Amino acid sequence: MKKTLTYQRTIQYFLQGLLILGPVSITLYFIYLVFDKIDSILRPAINIPGLGFIIIVAFIILVGYVSSFFMMERLLSVLDKFLERAPGVKLVYSFIKDFFEAFAGNKKKFTHNVLACVDDTDVWRVGFITQEDMSSFGMGNYVAVYLPMSYSVAGNVYIVPMERIRPMPHTSATQSMKFAVSGGVTQTLNDSVDDALTEATMN
């Protein structure tokens, strides 16, 4: 009997340790991968751990600072228009530009979180409206909704009529994304106020 209890407690302690160390270890490993990937850009020219990362980040900040000046802004605008019109280049450039702006630019898209019914049944999915006017597709009362997949960076875009859209005023966009990507595991109500304040600060 004592051996059975000892075995059960050992398993319990192991699972508790796994629950504590698992998320921490994976997060730290992901940070390390990102750090090492950026740091390795200047290798083997600069092979001092951490120095390449600092130089790359400082360069990005410098570009952002310089781009705020009027003359540099005009120059970048000319370069932007050239790349958007250059044959063969405009498709790749416009796609990458829109992708980055959807997450970090003034045209951020994943901020309007909603519930969308994309099936004939009464089943609702967490998504984000990316286009509010689909009249260019000949669908006046429709919107484009991006639905992220659970445990994945992928997702699908659906053209959905407005009557099949429900707003989520009490849940932030950040929490909605967490909820969708985590397969519904993440709580949405407890942290929604804090995330809303965070998003308001970032905007």
pLDDT of residue 2: 66
CB 57, CB 37: distance < 8 Å:
no
- Placement of tokens 């991006």 in the chain: 146
Give the chain's radius of gyration (CA, Å).
23
Give me the residue spans of the domains in the chain. Answer: 113-202
Q: Distance (Å, rounded) from C-alpha 156 to C-alpha 146?
A: 6
For the chain, the straight-line distance linking the first and the last C-alpha, in angstroms and rounded, comes to 60
- Using pLDDT thresholds of 50, 70 and 90, give the confidence band for residue 129: very high
By three-state DSSP, how is residue 84 classified?
Answer: helix
Q: Distance (Å, rounded) from C-alpha 50 to C-alpha 193?
A: 36
pLDDT of residue 8: 83
Helix axes 2-39, 51-66, angle to 10 degrees: 60
What's the chain's average pLDDT? 83
Summarize pLDDT for 54-85 with one digit per residue, the tens: 999 999 899 888 888 877 878 888 888 888 88
Summarize pLDDT for 131-165 with one digit per residue, the tens: 899 999 999 899 999 999 988 778 899 999 999 99
